[in-house]
Amino acid sequence: MLKKHLPTVLASLLSALVAVTAYRLLEKPREVIIREPSESEYRSRNVSRDGLTTEGNASFSLAAPTEFTYAASVSTPAVVNIQSVNSGGRGLSFDKLFGRDRYPQRGASGSGVIISKDGYIVTNHHVVADGDKISVSFSDNREMKATLIGSDPSTDLALIKVEVENLPFLTFGNSDSVQIGEWVLAVGNPFDLESTVTAGIVSAKGRSIDVLDAQDKIESFIQTDAAVNPGNSGGALVNTSGELIGINTAILTQSGQYEGYSFAVPSNLVRKVIGDLKNYGIVQRGLIGIRIEDVNSELARNLGLNDVAGVHITGVTPGSGAADAGLRRDDVILRVNGVKTGSMPELQEQVGRYSPGNVLRVEYMRNGKKSIAKVTLKNRSNKTSIVQGADVKFLQKLGMEVRPLNAFELKQMELENGVKVTSVFKGSKIDQTNLKPNFVITQVNERKITSEEDLIAALRNGKTEVKLRGVYAGVEEPYFYVFDLK
């Protein structure tokens, strides 16, 4: 029987195979579109704490990215493109933050964030530092000239203003409340593209990458993996509520383009710096008066600390707020005003939010015992008063920052008077004389200098040629530097 029907079965199978093959060859390719259902297929399930599944509406959220459209719609109109042009410059400057060259005469570009409806815009210092003409392009294609209100190299922040009303603006969020792993958006103009939004998460806080040149630099960046490229400088880092939590400032890169690491100045520090620039023209920086280092394992062991955290005091400036409050060498600062300061950047950020005359509650460890000190911050002149912006700008325009010598320094250097140059700005008149930081100015055109006020008065006495006389620590012979004020 089997032999009788076998040919028929084989013939049927062969016919079916030929039919399927022919259908596959003759049928045109089809595009298959898979659409996600409007509601999750898991909505009818409920997972309890013990992992059991029951029927009913879900009481948990799926681990999917959060909604970004609201934050993007709020932030993009408030982010602008900035062109900073040096009309007379012909030299090449180097943009260290993005590892690329810029020609100031052709223009340096970046981003900015509108922070008030009457035209105040925050950006990076390095975006506008080389320019003498600043123009702003808005999301509605309007273009306007802007005025530089003030700039702070120590935090790489600057404030500019356009004369217009009723602008869209971003409100400041609380950067202290930002959590590692939280979703954030970076908004800016990378490669001069308009209003580009990228998303990522907060990778770390309190990061220092040694990218700023200023002596009193404050680097306590929010690190994210949101894509940031050249042109994003000065743009907004916002949370999913559309609040400004940082100003995008730098990327860590070997190629000059984005490689997964971007850094933003925290909004709480931005608010302080920009407020000072608006009100005084300069930042009113309060100093504790200490030299510091991070705590490592060996130091923690030697000092008898339970945790490898905190900021170790290696020296205290005589007459400073720290000295007045009784802080000493080898004390370890743990908190400032109740906020944990586990590293140098975290301490610098907290102190950087306050002004001369403010009193900080400093929690520290000494000989295994915790104590509290109330430290009154002082300015570079070791005073609690507000610094006059015009005087500081005058010295900064020449290219230097100074402070008076204290009694200990005068005795150590065997001097009766003088002010110490704390920083010299690259490319300035002072820099061109080859004068170096830590030079002590004792005379200006034969006039003795005992204070910063003396120095400014001597420089403003109307003489064109200026002759600085002074010494360096450990060098017996005096040095002379001559430059032209005009």
The answer as to whether 89 is a domain residue is: yes
The answer as to whether 273 is a domain residue is: yes
Residues paired with residue 80 on neighbouring β-strands, in sequence order: 112
* Ordered alpha helix ranges (H), 338-478: 344-352, 389-398, 407-412, 429-432, 452-459
Same domain, 275 and 312: no
pLDDT category of residue 3 using cuts at 50, 70 and 90: low
Residue of 154 and 108 predicted with greater confidence: 154
Share of the chain above pLDDT 90, in %: 54
Give residue 63's pLDDT: 38
Same domain, 109 and 252: yes
Give residue 146's pLDDT: 95
Give residue 462's pLDDT: 67
Give residue 17's pLDDT: 57
Residue of 50 and 87 predicted with greater confidence: 87
Residues paired with residue 375 on neighbouring β-strands, in sequence order: 360
At residue 443, φ and ψ (nearest 5 deg) are -145, 150
Q: What is the CATH number of the domain that holds 299?
A: 2.30.42.10
Active-site annotation holder among 109, 125, 126, 331:
126
Please give the residue range of the domain that contains residue 185: 66-281
Q: What is the pLDDT of residues 301-322, one digit of tens each?
A: 999 888 899 999 999 988 899 9
Residue of 190 and 55 predicted with greater confidence: 190
Give residue 255's pLDDT: 67
Same domain, 352 and 250: no
pLDDT at 28 over 90: no
Same domain, 165 and 226: yes
Same domain, 224 and 112: yes
pLDDT at 57 over 50: no
Of 314, 349, 377, the residue at which a domain comes to its end is 377
Give residue 104's pLDDT: 37
Give the whole-angstrom CA distance, residue 360 versus residue 341: 13
Same domain, 295 and 317: yes
The residue to which tokens 């203003």 are assigned: 161
Q: Position 241: which residue type?
A: S
pLDDT category of residue 371 using cuts at 50, 70 and 90: very high
Cβ count within 10 A of residue 258 = 20
Active-site annotation holder among 152, 156, 331, 454:
156
Give the whole-angstrom CA distance, residue 367 versus residue 304: 7
Range 375-400 average pLDDT: 83
Cβ count within 10 A of residue 16 = 10
Residues paired with residue 196 on neighbouring β-strands, in sequence order: 188
Angle between helical axes of 452-459 and 389-398 (0-180°, round to 10): 60
Range 332-348 average pLDDT: 95
Give residue 16's pLDDT: 57
Same domain, 111 and 203: yes
Give residue 55's pLDDT: 35
Same domain, 313 and 396: no
Same domain, 248 and 210: yes
Residues paired with residue 470 on neighbouring β-strands, in sequence order: 441, 479
pLDDT category of residue 65 using cuts at 50, 70 and 90: low
Same domain, 362 and 432: no
Give residue 393's pLDDT: 76
The answer as to whether 12 is a domain residue is: no
Is 156 annotated as catalytic?
yes
Residue of 189 and 25 predicted with greater confidence: 189
Q: What is the pLDDT of residues 116-172, one digit of tens each?
A: 999 999 999 999 987 889 999 999 889 999 999 999 989 999 999 999 999 999 999
Residue of 22 and 418 predicted with greater confidence: 418
Q: Position 252: which residue type?
A: L
The answer as to whether 2 is a domain residue is: no
pLDDT category of residue 292 using cuts at 50, 70 and 90: very high
Give residue 64's pLDDT: 44
pLDDT at 15 over 90: no
Same domain, 242 and 183: yes
Give residue 99's pLDDT: 43
Q: Position 376: which residue type?
A: T
The answer as to whether 431 is a domain residue is: yes
The residue to which tokens 């830590």 are assigned: 438
Give the whole-angstrom CA distance, residue 275 versus residue 266: 14
pLDDT category of residue 332 using cuts at 50, 70 and 90: very high
The answer as to whether 447 is a domain residue is: yes
Same domain, 272 and 311: no
Q: What is the CATH number of the domain that holds 96?
A: 2.40.10.120
Range 410-415 average pLDDT: 90
pLDDT at 113 over 70: yes
The answer as to whether 5 is a domain residue is: no
The answer as to whether 305 is a domain residue is: yes
Of 377, 407, 439, the residue at which a domain comes to its end is 377
Across the chain, mean pLDDT equals: 82
> Helix, strand, or coil here: 188?
strand
Active-site annotation holder among 233, 262, 343, 355:
233
Q: What is the pLDDT of residues 179-230, one digit of tens each?
A: 999 999 999 987 767 788 999 999 999 998 888 876 678 999 999 999 888 8
Range 10-27 average pLDDT: 54
Of 377, 411, 431, the residue at which a domain comes to its end is 377
Give residue 440's pLDDT: 96
Is 233 annotated as catalytic?
yes
pLDDT at 96 over 90: no
pLDDT category of residue 112 using cuts at 50, 70 and 90: very high
The residue to which tokens 């007459």 are assigned: 319
Residue of 213 and 46 predicted with greater confidence: 213
Give residue 386's pLDDT: 79
pLDDT at 433 over 50: yes
pLDDT at 442 over 90: yes
Count up the domains in the chain and report the number.
Answer: 3
Give residue 350's pLDDT: 95
Give the whole-angstrom CA distance, residue 176 versus residue 155: 17
